[in-house]
Amino acid sequence: MPAITSGEDDLHRELQGLGARLEAENGGSHSFRGSRSRARPGNLPIDSGTPNGSGSLPRTNGIPSLTGGPPSAPILSSGPRAQRGHSTDFSSEELRGRPREIIVGGGPPQSYRRVQSTENRQHRDIMQNAQKLTFEDGTIFKDVDPTSLLRLEDLGTGTCGHVVKMQHVASGRVMAVKQMRKSGVPEENRRIYMDLDVVLRCTDCPHIVHCYGYFVTDSEVWICMELMTSCIEKLQRLRSHEPVPEQMLGYICVSVVKALNYLKDKHGVIHRDVKPSNILLDRNGNVKLCDFGIAGQLVESKAKTQSAGVAGYIAPERIDPERVGRNYDVRADVWSLGIALVELATGRHPYASCTTDFELLVNVLERDPPRLDEAMFSKELCDFVQLCLTKDFKNRPKYHKLMKHEFIKKYDTPEATARVAEWFRENSRRPTC
């Protein structure tokens, strides 16, 4: 545990006290130390909603405020997801193995109600346009239901649902189908419909996974998406977490920044879950962002509702909102991108040595941000990461400034795509054992 100055004793006691109370409320089903090994980040389960089954650090998810309004201070908690009406795709043993959760962020009640009203309208629109598929050539298939698809193979499981490789029988199109079970918990259903709403609005962005359509049953929502080959996190496990070459990082970073900038500029959306398992690749060198279940609608460029994410990628201002004001903006995702770049460049998550979520969060708040060694990486990459990991978010750049950085401009070329495709094909052929 890192040393904490006397001026931080209150925060220290508050986090410990909140965690202890929530441990008691959940019957002591978890301790701060997870039930699985923390020696390597890759040993832990994550929520991907993509073709992978493990992740870097403990998954954290938002839950609604008990008062019906926006949540307040950051809260560490634990407790089986089964108690929250979660998908029955998971066994009780798998649920017990899930890490703790965190609530971060918040905003004034009136802003919270504005966002909720927007979500209600989105839900109505979604229900009116279900049960059809639209492909790139303009072909439309209506009245689609589960019997219209042929199951080929499982691709992965996450806390939001199960991803299956399936074929649309009438067209022969092979797709990735994300199957998410609805529950009686409003927050769980909100994530499902937020994920769907965002991908439906982003069909014109080449850096976001494409959605062909969806259908809704009494118990489930199925989202039919283009089939990508892998996610970065899964590829890294195949590569035994070897460092990713810098030119590959460059193109990956270009695509992610463009996707995040598109979300903000065109739709007023913040992703809130940027990490390697939510970055997809295919054999043509395309890199696309996915999984928008915990994305948030921005109000006057600020996030107003409770949020979620993986502890190791959460920005300092989201961990301790009382210090900086209750609202945050897209620069929180810029921090997450910086952490992901350090992890991929070095082959190790910068907070992998932390043994508890509490220790990890205190490290993010109290220690200097991670840096890359200038003797091993280019000046451009080191400077880009340092900007992304600026601790004071007011001094951290937004996307338009990042797009002008030399590191981005260096790799924003068609040739980079071809290099990524070649590198990906070579590395995806590696044996799995």
pLDDT per residue as tens digits for the range 191-227: 888 888 898 899 999 999 999 999 888 889 999 999 9
- Domain assignment present for 216: no
Q: Report d(CA 215, CA 221) in Å as an integer.
A: 6
Residues tagged active-site: 273
Cα-based distances in Å from 77 to 103, 349, 358: 9, 23, 11
- In this predicted model, what pLDDT tens digit does every residue of 68-81 receive, in sequence order? 333 333 333 333 33
Q: Residue 323: which pLDDT band, with cuts at 50, 70 and 90?
A: low
Q: Which residue has the higher pLDDT, 26 or 238?
A: 238
- Domain assignment present for 124: no
Question: Tell me, what's the pLDDT at 219?
Answer: 87
CATH assignment of the domain containing 346: 1.10.510.10
- Domain assignment present for 401: yes
Length of the chain: 433
Q: Report d(CA 428, CA 432) in Å as an integer.
A: 9
Q: Which residue has the higher pLDDT, 320 or 12?
A: 320
- Domain assignment present for 86: no
Question: Per mean pLDDT, which range of 15-29, 90-104, 248-262 is the poorest?
Answer: 90-104
Largest CA distance in the chain: 67
In the chain, the amino acid numbered 30 is H
- In this predicted model, what pLDDT tens digit does every residue of 400-425 receive, in sequence order? 999 999 999 999 998 888 898 999 88
Over residues 23-44, mean pLDDT: 35
- Domain assignment present for 19: no
Q: Report d(CA 296, CA 195) in Å as an integer.
A: 10
Most confident option among 35-44, 77-86, 356-365, 369-378: 369-378
> How many domains in the chain?
1
- Domain assignment present for 365: yes
Residue 367: how many other CB atoms lie within 10 Å: 13
Q: Order of strands, edge to edge, in the sheet holding 296-299?
A: 269-270, 296-299, 302-303
Q: Which residue has the higher pLDDT, 23 or 1?
A: 1
In the chain, the percentage of residues whose pLDDT exceeds 90 is 44
Mean pLDDT value across the chain? 75
pLDDT score of 152 more than 90: yes
- In this predicted model, what pLDDT tens digit does every residue of 253-270 receive, in sequence order? 999 999 999 999 999 998
Domain hosting 390: range is 230-428
Q: Report d(CA 223, CA 194) in Å as an integer.
A: 12
- Domain assignment present for 113: no
Q: Cβ-count burial of 349 within 10 angstroms (0-12 exposed, 13-18 middle, 19+ buried)?
A: buried
Q: Residue 327: which pLDDT band, with cuts at 50, 70 and 90?
A: confident
- Domain assignment present for 404: yes
Cα-based distances in Å from 411 to 147, 246, 249: 44, 10, 9
